[in-house]
A = this chain, B = another copy of it.
């Protein structure tokens, strides 16, 4: 059973298993018994992710991309969540991501409520195992702006350069760009990126990180390709 999930397994004889062991340490949904990620109790609760282990050199295959990457867009807005404001920035973000080749599998308007935002981020990263979650709104200095705080609470690792780059490019256009507290970070195999709530700010900021997104997601999900090539000065 093929899935729209963006990763599969290519074995040593180039046999593609277009399923995927769920990125979140759950069982494969393909039911194809040759698939090395086919569910078995021994795989559950493992501390080493099966995909990671097969990525090691000398093993019998490697993970590959199949299909499109999956993204969710969360609009964070008290007014939007009450239906008092059209979700223009969410629409713009979805449009840009679709053009960039993402499948938008979830879209939602949440109020400026830190617990709700955290819960939703956790669900999208840990259960839905999405590649990318983009939020728009709630990144400013108002007491109700809590999106960065919710994001910081759930990510395992920050990607400070993404937030710096977004602010730096916007700053050339408006001094208010320095007031964005937007955060970018990684939870498991999911990249979470905060964008400002204004249409222009969301578009401008997303376009700044877009050129690095594919490489970022490849790396987050364990792409074992050589990183010492000299075209990647951002790579460690």
A227 adjacent to chain B (CB < 8 Å): yes
Distance in angstroms between the alpha carbons of A62 and B194 in the assembled complex: 29
Interface hits, A200-229 → B, CB 8 Å? 200-201, 204-205, 209, 211-212, 215-216, 219-220, 222-223, 226-229
A41 adjacent to chain B (CB < 8 Å): no
Interface hits, A67-101 → B, CB 8 Å? 76-77, 79, 84-85, 88-89
Instruction: Say whether B181 contacts A235, CB under 8 Å.
Output: no
Residues of B within 8 A of A205 (CB): 233
Answer whether A142 and B233 are a contact pair too, CB < 8 Å, given A161-B180, A176-B212.
no
Instruction: Say whether B142 contacts A222, CB under 8 Å.
Output: yes
Answer whether A233 and B149 are a contact pair too, CB < 8 Å, given A140-B219, A143-B52, A228-B198.
no
Residues of B within 8 A of A199 (CB): 228, 230
Residues of B within 8 A of A175 (CB): 165, 211-212, 234
Answer whether A85 and B228 are a contact pair too, CB < 8 Å, given A233-B205, A235-B196.
yes
Instruction: Say whether B161 contacts A177, CB under 8 Å.
Output: yes
Determine how many copies of this chain the complex contains: 3
A22 adjacent to chain B (CB < 8 Å): no
Distance in angstroms between the alpha carbons of A198 and B204 in the assembled complex: 29
Residues of B within 8 A of A236 (CB): 76, 137-140, 142, 145, 147-148, 180-182, 194, 196-197
Residues of B within 8 A of A147 (CB): 236
Residues of B within 8 A of A222 (CB): 142-143
Q: How far is the CB of A23 from chain B (nearest CB, A)?
A: 11
A128 adjacent to chain B (CB < 8 Å): no
Residues of B within 8 A of A186 (CB): 141
* Nearest-neighbor residue (CB-CB) of A142 within chain B: B219
Instruction: Say whether A178 contacts B209, CB under 8 Å.
Output: yes
10 contacts across the A-B interface (CB closer than 8 A): A140-B235, A159-B179, A165-B178, A168-B168, A168-B171, A175-B212, A178-B209, A198-B227, A198-B228, A201-B233
